[in-house]
Amino acid sequence: MHDDTSPRDLTDRLTRDLPPDRVLTDPASTAGYAHDEAEWAPYGTPLAVVRPHTAEEVALAVRACLDHGVPIVTRGAGTGLSGGANAVDGAVVLSTEAMNAIKEIDPLERLAVVEPGVVNEDLRAACAEQDLWYPPDPASARWSTIGGNVATNAGGLCCVKYGVTRDYVLGLQFVTGTGELVRVGRRTAKGVAGYDLTSLLVGSEGTLGVITEITVRLRPRREPEHTVAGYFSSIVDAGRAVAAVAAAGVTPSALELVDRHCLAAVDAWKNMGLSTEAEVVLLGRSDAPGAAGEAEAEAMRACFAGAGATYAVRSTDQQEADALFEARRLAYPALERLGPVLTEDIVVPKAAVPEMLARIHATGDRHDTLIANIAHAGDGNLHPLLITPAGDEAARARAQAAFHDIIADALDLGGTVTGEHGVGLLKRDGLRAELGPAVLGLNRAVKDALDPRGLFNPGKVVATDGQEG
């Protein structure tokens, strides 16, 4: 902040420049915007929360913060799991919750234009009314927003076949580090004019600009899916089944892993009558049309059986199949009810899934930490969930040590520290280990170029040594 200004100067300017009810300064009101859902990620006390309704209001808020030297932390629905939306002391938190308009759905060009506060599931429902489909479907789709999905390059259950958020973002409008409102990308099917700044912004976690509008690619509504369920007595056997599906050349529309800890937690919460007889359940789906879908489903069932499934069947009960996938989506909030949950988000090559799952199991034993497992297993994106009793500091320390060991094992197996949750605060050490000094330097050079004042989400992702989150 400039020496000749005070926090009150900035809040007065924001209140003057923006319409009524856009600026919150009462600590009782701002506290709920200070952090996301990342367990144990540090956060500070924001100076104010700004809730703009238009891109122009975002630009006014950013310019005010730039003039006063105050950090800006952009926040969507706050469902993040890496601390990426956590406030730093004295920052302005810019919430996009009121920017929730679906501006356009174009069936001919198969695209939609949305504001960042649009909830993922709401966009998918609006597209379905026109026989269109927006594929990225994180487990938090009912609550997370498209802006947050873009910020972390979110994936989801169907990304094994259809890709992640970056594959669907055609263009963006955003406010730059100099306070300008600009557009990048395109609406056309092709376009290679200039550097791909759109893709650069996707996954940047609010460190390069404030996104105010998103143009996304859509697909035709797909065929109904065939579901296969496999029960396994060993998580390593389930991992072998995942590798077998890939080796068989099958590309499922979903291939999800849920262990008995997750199923039991969901059933205790929602009373869905889920079986917890198996140690691990694999859920596979195929949306290939007609006989091809049936053949893919049968191929998956055979892979499950060949890898040692105690039970493997193609589901003929759509309600039962949907309940199992609903349990997969509810696993994280269900486990949160049991105590603090530290969530991993590592990705390994599909061939390494069995070994990685074995290492996770060994890590839990070594650190005396309960680790439940859910996974987008079909693309090697594993989400070990480290569960600790509330208030048990020794258990917390053991879980954090296990967290770092899991990251190290993922890198050792040729993987990455995050597939869709982002680096935020929790994965900065892992990012340094994965990228190395030269590539990390390139990342910081990009950050310096697009955010010359260093005020967008400071301390996150490629923070310089000594920056605090």
Angle CA 231–356–378, to nearest 5: 55
Q: How many residues does the chain have?
A: 469
Rounded to the nearest angstrom, the gap between the alpha carbon of residue 160 and the centroid of all alpha carbons in its chain is 15
Q: How far apart are CA 299 and CA 411, in angstroms?
A: 31
Other CB atoms within a 10 A radius of the CB of residue 11 amount to: 20
Does residue 340 contact residue 386 with C-beta atoms inside 8 Å? no
Task: Give the model's confidence band at 468: pLDDT under 50 very low, under 70 low, under 90 confident, else very high.
Answer: very low
Burial 88-104 (b: 16+ CB within 10 A, else e): bebbbbbbbbebbebee
Residue 320's pLDDT band, with cuts at 50, 70 and 90, is confident
Indicate if the pLDDT at residue 362 is higher than 90. yes
pLDDT tens-digit map of 109-132: 999 999 999 999 999 999 999 999
| CA pseudo-torsion sign 41, 47, 52, 56 | negative
pLDDT of residue 223: 86
For residue range 416-425, list pLDDT tens digits in order.
999 999 999 9
DSSP strands (E only) in 247-318: 254-259, 280-286, 311-314
pLDDT, position 319: 83
What is the rounded CA–CA span in Å between residue 136 and residue 163? 7
Mean local confidence (pLDDT), 201-223:
97
pLDDT exceeds cutoff 90 at 280: yes
Lowest-confidence pick of 74-88, 189-203, 259-273, 395-409: 259-273
Phi, psi (degrees; rounded to nearest 5) at 264: -65, -40
Tell me the per-residue pLDDT of 51-83, one tens digit each, with 9 for 90 and over: 999 999 999 999 999 999 999 999 999 999 999
Question: 204: pLDDT confidence band, cut at 50, 70 and 90?
Answer: very high
DSSP 92-144: EEEE-TT---EEEEETTTTEEEE-TT-BHHHHHHHHHTTTEE---B-TTTTT-
Integer Cα distance of 282 and 239 in angstroms:
9
Q: What's the mean per-residue pLDDT of the chain?
A: 94
Q: Is 8 exposed, middle or buried (0-12, 13-18, 19+ CB in 10 A)?
A: exposed
Determine the pLDDT at residue 467: 53
Report d(CA 165, CA 156) in Å as an integer. 9
**pLDDT of res. 154:** 97
Residue 210 CA to residue 213 CA, distance in Å, equals 9
Q: How far apart are the C-alpha atoms of 272 and 275, rounded to whole Å?
A: 9
More confident residue, 320 or 131: 131
Give the residue-averaged pLDDT of 315-330.
Answer: 85
d(CA 72, CA 91): 6
With bands split at pLDDT 50, 70 and 90, how would you rate the model's confidence at 4? Answer: low
Task: Categorize the per-residue pLDDT at 30 as very low, low, confident or very high, splitting at 50, 70 and 90.
Answer: very high
Residue found by looking up tokens 């809040």 in the block: 11
| pLDDT confidence of residue 3 | 46
* Residue of 168, 165, 170 lying closest to 144 (CA atoms): 165
User: Which domains, ranges and CATH numbers included, belong to the chain?
Assistant: 7-97 (3.30.43.10), 102-220 (3.30.465.10), 223-328 (3.30.70.2190), 339-428 (3.30.70.2740)
The conformation of residue 396, written as its DSSP 8-state character, comes to H
